[in-house]
Chains A and B, each alone.
Chain A
Amino acid sequence: MLEKAGTAGQEKQKQDHLKELHAAILTLRAKRERLFAETAALKDLKDKLDQGLPLEEEETDDFMQLEQFLLKSRLMQLKDLQTVYHLIGGYNLIESKQGKSVCVSFRTAFEGMYLETYNLEMDLRRTVQISRHNIPPCVPLERLAKEHLQADFKAFLEILSLHLNALAGRKQQVLLIKELIGTVEIIERNQLCNFLVFMCKIQEETEAAVLCTLEYGDLTQCLPTRVTIESENKTLAESPQWKKNQVLLMESPVHSALLTMRKVGSIV
C-alpha cells in the first residue's frame, strides 16, 4: 500500500513540474509574439523615418508606441555615452538618494588593458569626508585628502586617479616583464612598485649579467626618475650601448625597453 502511495506521490510531482513547464512556455510564447509585433512596428517606424515620411499622430496607439521607442532610443544613446565616459577614464559617481554620500569608482588601465577598480565612499553631510575605501595602503590617501579634498573636489579625484593609474601601470609593467621576457630575473620590488631591481643576461652561455635599478620618484608617473646600471664587467656597464639602454629605460616603460634591448642584442 505504501509503495503505491509513494509512486503516486512521485507521479504527482512530475505532473506538477510538467504543468509548470507548460505555463512557462505559454508565457514565453506570449512574450515572443509581443516582441515580434513591437520589432515589426519599430522596423516600420525606421523605414518611414528613413524615407522621410511624416509620422501620423492620429493613430494614438501607434503614437504611444512611438513615444516609448523614442524614449528608449534616447535612453540607450545616453547610456552608451555613460559607458564611454567610464571607458575613457571617467569616474563612476553614484550619489545616495538624499545626497548624503557619494561613491566614486576609479578604473585603472595600462596600455589598453583594464586593471583594478578602486572604490571610495564619501560622506557629504557637514564637510566632505572619506568614510570607506579599498585604496591600497601604499597610496598616500590621507595626505592627498588633506591637501585637496576640501579645497577642490575635482582636483582630488584627478590626483588620486593619477596615483592609482600609475601604481597599476608600474605593477603591470613588472607582470609584462615576466610574461614577455622570461630571461630577466626580478631581484627586488616593493608594494608601491616604485623600486625595481632586475638582472639581465648578456649572453646565453656565460654568467655575464647586468643589474638594473629603477627608482620611481614621481608616484604619478609610470616612468622611473633614476636608472642605475651595474655589472661586474665595468667596461660593459660604461659602454655606449648600455648608456643608450640607460636612456631607454628612463624614457619608455620597462617591458618595452627590455624588448628593444633584446631586439638589438644587448640582452638575451
Chain B
Amino acid sequence: MRKNKPVFVGKQTDMGTMEQKLNEELKQLQREIEVCEAEQDSYVRSISLQHGEALRGVLQTLYNKKEKGDGTLKKDVSKLITDITDTEKDLRRQTNISGITLTECCVKTLEKNERKTIQQYRLTGHCCFLSFQVEFALVDIQDSDSSLQKITDLNVILDGAEFKDLCAFVSRVEETKSLFLFFRTLRLFSERCKQRSCTLQYFKEKYPDVVRLPEGCRSEVMMIQSPKLPGCTMSIFWKISVSKEGVVQPKLELLMKMPEQAQKMDTNNVMETAPEAFRSLLKIFGVEASIESLIKSVCF
C-alpha cells in the first residue's frame, strides 16, 4: 500500500486548516486506540476469569522455561514473567499480613470517562475458616485539585455457623458502606473464633472423659461432666459477640445443672454461686486457667 506523501501548501490559511485537520485525525486515532486497548483488557480479563484453570498448564511451562534459563524466551515475555512472580510475592505477603485469603476476584468497569470511574468488585475468600463473599462498587473522581474515592453499594454474604450473631453488625456495615471496618472486624472475630476452637479442642484432648463438645470444637458450648457424678454438668458458654459498630468481645458464662437429689445436698449453694465465682476466676486468671481449674475440681 502506498502511503500518502504530505503535500505542503505555502499559503498561511491553508496551513492553518491542514494543521487543524491533522490534529483532529491525531485525536481520532488516539480515541480509537483507547477503545481498542479497553477491548483487549476486557477480553484478557474474561479469558483469565473463565479459562484461568485450563491455561495454568501453559503458563507453568513458560515459568519452567524461564527458570531453566531457556534462551528461547523473548525479552518482553521474560519481563512479564518477572512481573508476575514479583506480584505473586507481594500477594503472598498481603495474605500473610492481612490474614485474609482472596480466592476469587472479579472486576468490572461500569463507567469510565476523564473525570469519573466506577468499578464493580466481587470478592470471594476466607479468613481462617470463615468464608465470605463481598460485592461493592467503587467510585473514583479525579478533579484538577482533588480526588475522591468512595464505596457505594456494599453487599456482604457470610457462611458458617459462627456468623449467626453477626447479623446486626453486617447490616450496619452494609448501611454505612464500611468496607475497612468489615474486614478489620472479620479478622479480629475469626482470630477469637480460632482461639476458642483451639482451646476447646485442647481441653477435649487433655481430659477426654470429662470434657464433651456436643456441637464440635467450632461451637460455643463446652460441657464438663465428671463420670463419678452423673447428672451434674457444668456448661461453659463461650460467646464472641460483635457490636453493631464492630467491637469484638468474648463473653464466657457458666451454667450448672444438678439432679434434684444433688440439689438437696447442695448446702453451699454451689449452683447459684458458681456462675459468679467463675466470672471472678476469669478476671483474675484468664480463660484457660479458669476452665482448667473447673475441670480439675471435678476430677478429684
- Could you list which residues of chain B lie within 8 angstroms of chain A, going by C-beta atoms? 3, 6, 8, 10, 15, 18-19, 22-23, 25-26, 29-30, 32-33, 36-37, 39-41, 43-52, 54-55, 58-59, 62, 74, 76-77, 80-81, 83-84, 87-88, 90-91, 93-94, 96-98, 100, 102, 105, 107, 121, 123, 138, 148-152, 154, 176-180, 183-184, 243-245, 247
CA distance A39 to B151 in the complex (A): 32
CA distance A83 to B121 in the complex (A): 10
Q: How far is the CA of A6 from the CA of B41 in the complex (A)?
A: 51
**B153 — nearest CB in chain A belongs to which residue?**
A112
Beyond contacts A21-B23, A49-B54: 15 other A-B pairs, Cβ-Cβ < 8 A, are A18-B22, A19-B6, A24-B26, A31-B33, A67-B77, A71-B77, A73-B52, A79-B87, A82-B94, A87-B138, A108-B180, A111-B176, A112-B154, A251-B243, A252-B245
B247 to chain A, nearest CB (A): 8
A88 CA to B37 CA, complexed, in Å: 28
Contact with A251, one of B46, B80, B123, B245 (Cβ below 8 angstroms):
B245
Best-buried of A35, A43, A45, A107 by chain B (most CB within 10 Å): A35
CB distance from A114 to the nearest CB of B (A): 4
For A21, give the chain B residue with the smallest CB separation.
B22
Contact for A67 among B6, B58, B87, CB less than 8 A: B58
How close is B111's CB to chain A, nearest CB, in angstroms? 17
User: Provided the pairs A14-B15, A28-B33, A114-B149 are in contact, do residues A69 and B22 lie with their beta carbons within 8 angstroms?
Assistant: no
Q: Nearest chain A CB to B6's CB is how many angstroms away?
A: 5
In the bound complex, CA of A18 to CA of B19 (Å)? 6
Q: Which residues of A contact B59 (CB under 8 A)?
A: 70-71, 74
Residues of B within 8 A of A46 (CB): 43, 46-47
Point out residues on A near B: beta carbons under 8 Å: 11, 14-15, 17-19, 21-22, 24-26, 28-29, 31-32, 35-36, 38-39, 42-43, 45-46, 49-50, 55, 64, 66-85, 87-91, 93, 107-114, 154, 157, 162, 165, 221-223, 251-253
A76:B84 contact, CB within 8 angstroms: no
Inter-chain contacts of B39 with A (CB < 8 A): 39
Given contacts A35-B40, A79-B87, A112-B150, contact A87 B121 (CB under 8 A): yes
Q: For the complex, what is the distance from the CA of A87 to the CA of B122, rounded to whole Å?
A: 12
> Are B100 and A88 touching (Cβ within 8 A)?
yes
Q: Which residue of A lies closest to B107 (CB)?
A: A80
**Nearest CB of chain A from residue B45's CB, rounded to whole Å:** 6
Q: How far is the CA of A165 from the CA of B52 in the complex (A)?
A: 36
Q: How far is the CA of A222 from the CA of B33 in the complex (A)?
A: 47
CB neighbours of A89 from chain B (8 A)? 98, 179-180, 183-184
B contact residues around A21 at 8 Å (CB)? 19, 22-23, 26
Hey, which chain B residues are within 8 Å of A85, CB to CB? 91, 94, 98, 100, 102
Complex interface: chain A residues within 8 A of B180 (CB): 88-89, 107-110, 165
- Chain A residues lying within 8 Å of B62, measured Cβ to Cβ, are 67, 70-71
Please pick, from A29, A31, A69, A252, the residue contacting B44 in the complex, using a CB distance under 8 A.
Answer: A69
Among residues of A, the one whose C-beta sits closest to the C-beta of B10 is A11
Pick the residue among B44, B94, B148 that contacts A76 (CB under 8 A): B44
- Give A259 Cβ to nearest chain B Cβ, in Å: 12
CB < 8 Å: which of A18, A157, A223 contacts B6? Answer: A18
Please state if A42 and B29 are interface contacts (CB–CB under 8 Å).
Answer: no
